[in-house]
A and B are shown apart, each in its own frame.
Chain A
Amino acid sequence: MNAKKIIKKFIFMLLTLLLVSFLVFLAFAIIPGDPAVHKLGTQATPESLEALREEMGLNRPFFERYASWLVSFVKGDMGVSYSYNMPVGDMILDKLPITLTMTVLAFCFVLIITFPTGILCAKHNGGKLDRFIVILNQIMMSVPSFFGGILITIIFGVVLKLFMPGGYISYTKNFVKFLGYMCFPAIAVAIPKAAMSIKLLRSSILAEAEKDYARTAYSHGNTTGDVLIHHVLQNAMIPVVTFLGMALADIFAGSIIIEQVFNIPGMGRILLSSISNRDYPVVMAILVLLASAVIIINFIVDIVYGIIDPRVSQDD
């Protein structure tokens, strides 16, 4: 992919981010509920409310408020949490590594499971192993991650005692144990996603293996394995990459549920508590972060696309 095209895409990505931030700000400006009332309670006098509004900048015009919010947001100052009275930036910085670790672990599991299994299935298409994996896949696909999480807690935590259910260990205390604990929610999240991507990769490989260029490759004396890995795989990955991008975004944004099941104090937890507390600065910051993650992942997927498929990055 040429630099010009990447820069173009990058600028486009920034514009999208700007739009998202605006929409988030707009949404929170028009939903009912006065943060000042919430902070001081319903018994507060109108004068003290007015003073607080003035102090929080709630009386200024909308665009002025948006601009100053955006500028300070970009600088890293995401405001002060209403309910905890501490900077939102610090709160998120504290929780972000937890959720990120979980996401990265889960995504690695998806990759590690998908590619060998998908290729193996396609190579032994119609055989016993293939049929077994296809059926297993169908089951795994229909297990929601929270239910998988409960099963994993029972099997690995209660029966096999590989980890202590609910015994989250902070990464500041013991990083290795933290990683060990995070593996289990990551697997719970990874299984349904991996099942879906195996299904996609398998059928994509099978469809590509029927194409003329695969026949050409065989005519050069390649073995079946060589044809699949050197010729077919790269073509078959094109639709899978799209799915993997969506899956990655989905894992990150969907971490709320699995964090509840495994009692992990990540981003999901503060998002939930801040929503119920009407802690707008926190909610806004997390929303913008999640949306940014999705947009940035899409940007990366676009670039990976260009690497895999030269037709996408054609210079015209």
Chain B
Amino acid sequence: MGKVLEVTDLNIRIYDKDTPDTVVFDFDLSLDEGEIVGLVGESGSGKSMSALAIAGLLNRHDMEKRGKIMFEGRDLLTCPREELRSHQGKDIGIIFQEPMTSLNPVKKIGWQVEENLRIHTDLTPEERKKRALKVLKDVELDDAERVYNSYPHQLSGGMRQRVMIASAMICNPKILIADEPSTALDVSVQAQILKLLKRLNRTHNTAILFISHDLSLVRRLCERVLVMKGGYVVESGKTEKIFKEPENEYTKKLIAAIPICEGRQDPIDKENILMAKGVSVSFKEERKNLFTKPGTIEVLKGLNIRIKKGEILGLVGGSGCGKSTLAKAITGIVPYKGTIDFYCKSPKMVFQDPYNSLNPAKTVGWILEEPLKNCTDLSREERQKKVVSALLEVGLEEFYKDRYPNELSGGQRQRVCIAQALMLEPELLIADEPVSALDVTIQEQIIALMQELQRKRNLSILFISHDLRVVYKICNYVCIMDKGQIVERGSIEDIYTKPITDVTKKLLRDAGIREVSE
């Protein structure tokens, strides 16, 4: 097999406020025809930067790139822009992490998928349409004709990612760069996208550079793996070898973060902190027109749930099963029918998106102080004291109180969100996908923090997630939810080893856990 791409000594520097900062050091990569290579690392490790450089998309003026990116005997770094453009889209395709925003919202799918053909070929409009429909079918969008005439907002996230893949594959590129292609998607959709990539790789002999922070995905897909940290490639080699005998400390840590089933201590029976019986929530559908009566959608259908004192209860389900609605019902954000009895002060909530759930115009100190101002009679000094101690408790230093949310990283923001939820010392915390927007190593830290807080304060936590792997790390008991009802509950041990319902089995499969435990 011939080499299609050879990257040697790639260095990328960014000049930020005149001080150069190297983000990628001496990056080497060779890609054979039809090979799938994984590139793993946490955010900020330089993996996306390297990928963008290979795709010729790093053209900012404040960047300096050195090294060689050899493709078909030419160096893509030094060749004229004109020549680079003739390869982009035709020989090198790229798909991105965010299928929601990577498509132009005001153009039809067909127009966008055909773009590569318009730029790189002389096909007539009819031929282009034929090719586009064919490639849409090829990425398993069955209703290709309808998708062709749709706009991005009319498609789901998984469908949009398929469209992205279709538009990248339409010229049969030699290389496909997939930059975290499934991270933003639901686990079940994730699995389908991976399968699709693997199939395309086999049928079209396209080499794939698969970038991810998730080792278990890389293991399923890639023959070779490069592990990056802090801009350096710390380890590379055959996937199986790296999994069996990791040499680098960081690689070992990453592999240890993949959950494998093991025994758990029996949870201790304690008194209830929350008891919900027959909770139903329904929303009014939007009116179709002026004259029809709006219908109702039942999101929760007579659901029962019980949370015990001091336990971390997992609540797992696919998207749209009503788990967030349950959280909102418990915290009183949406009206519900049925009874929810608390044996504690009102619960507080931590949300999924730490980027948008903090007011960007206020300092961290102000944000943390607000609940105290509204709900207590503490003096200014006492409030300030509490703010500082809360910051220390979530592992942030005192000076962070004068920072604004946009000056913090995702993990730090989620710490602030947790601190804010804890300001009024609740006994029950509702955490709605608190780590889904963060990458694995940060996920670990936040989970460790929540466990520590739970022990120290004897908190009860309802931990909502779509990902059984995350739940495994933190919870004793799990409830599986589907279509507005709890379909299965049990200790984490039982759920993992003896799943009863199909929903649970599917969730386990999607999370890549079944294979490990079987």
| A residues whose Cβ falls under 8 Å from a Cβ of B | 4, 8, 211-213, 215-223, 231, 234-235, 308-311, 314, 316
B290 A220 Cβ-Cβ under 8 A = no
In the complex, what distance in Å separates the CA atom of A235 from the CA atom of B151?
13
User: What would be 10 A-B contacts, judged by CB atoms less than 8 Å apart?
Assistant: A213-B105, A219-B88, A219-B93, A219-B94, A220-B89, A220-B167, A221-B85, A221-B116, A311-B151, A314-B154
Interface size on B, residues (CB 8 A): 34
11 more A-B contacts (CB under 8 A) besides A212-B98, A310-B108? A213-B103, A218-B57, A219-B57, A220-B89, A221-B85, A231-B104, A234-B106, A235-B105, A308-B106, A310-B105, A311-B151
CB proximity of B181 to chain A, nearest CB, Å: 13
Given contacts A212-B96, A215-B57, A311-B151, contact A221 B104 (CB under 8 A): no
Those of B111-157 within 8 Å (CB) of chain A: 115-116, 119-120, 151, 153-154
Pair A212/B89 contact, Cβ less than 8 Å? no
**Given contacts A215-B96, A311-B151, A222 and B105 within 8 Å (CB-CB):** no
Chain B interface residues toward A at CB < 8 A: 55, 57, 85-90, 93-94, 96, 98, 101-108, 115-116, 119-120, 151, 153-154, 164, 167-168, 286, 288-290
The answer to whether residues A309 and B96 also contact, given A221-B116, A223-B85 and a CB cut-off of 8 A, is no
* CB atoms of B88 and A314 under 8 A apart: no
Closest to B151 in A: A310
Chain B, residue nearest A231 (CB): B104
Distance of A220 Cα from B171 Cα, bound (Å): 10
- Asked whether A220 lies within 8 Å of B116 as measured between CB atoms, the reply is yes
Q: B104, A217: Cβ atoms under 8 Å?
A: yes
Q: A216: which B residues are within 8 A, CB to CB?
A: 96, 102-104, 164, 167
| B119 cross-chain contacts in A, Cβ below 8 A | 220-222
- Neighbouring B residues of A309 by C-beta, 8 Å: 105-106
> Which residues of chain B are within 8 angstroms of A219 by Cβ–Cβ distance?
55, 57, 88-89, 93-94, 168
| B153 engages A218 (CB within 8 Å) | no
Nearest B residue to A213, CB-CB: B104
Q: In whole angstroms, how far apart are the Cα atoms of A132 and B87 in the complex?
A: 36
Which residue of A215, A221, A235, A314 contacts B102 across the interface (Cβ within 8 Å)? A215
Most chain A CB within a 10 A radius of its CB, from B57, B104, B119, B288? B104
Q: Lowest 5 CB-CB distances: which A-B pairs, in order?
A: A220-B89, A221-B88, A212-B101, A221-B89, A310-B151
Closest A residue by C-beta to B117: A220
Query: In the assembled complex, how far is the CB of residue A225 from the closest CB belonging to chain B, in whole angstroms?
Result: 12
The answer to whether B105 and A220 have CB atoms under 8 Å apart is no
Judge whether B115 and A310 touch: CB under 8 Å: no
Instruction: Give Cα distance in the complex from A314 to B290, angstroms.
Output: 16
A60 smallest CB distance to B (angstroms): 36
Q: Determine the distance from Cα of A221 to Cα of B106 in the docked complex, in whole angstroms.
A: 20
Output the residue of A211, A212, A220, A308 with the most chain B CB within 10 A: A220
Q: Select from chain A the residue with minimum beta-carbon distance to B104.
A: A213
CB contacts (< 8 Å) of B290 on chain A: these are: 8
Chain B residues contacting A213 (CB-CB under 8 Å) are 101-105
If the complex has contacts A211-B101, A231-B107, A309-B105, are A217 and B151 also in contact, measured as CB distance less than 8 A? no
Residue of A nearest to B177 (CB): A219
Alpha-carbon gap, A104 to B105, bound state (A): 31
Per the bound structure, the CA–CA distance linking A221 and B103 in Å amounts to 15
Report chain A residues within 8 Å CB of B286.
316
Residues of A within 8 A of B105 (CB): 213, 235, 309-311
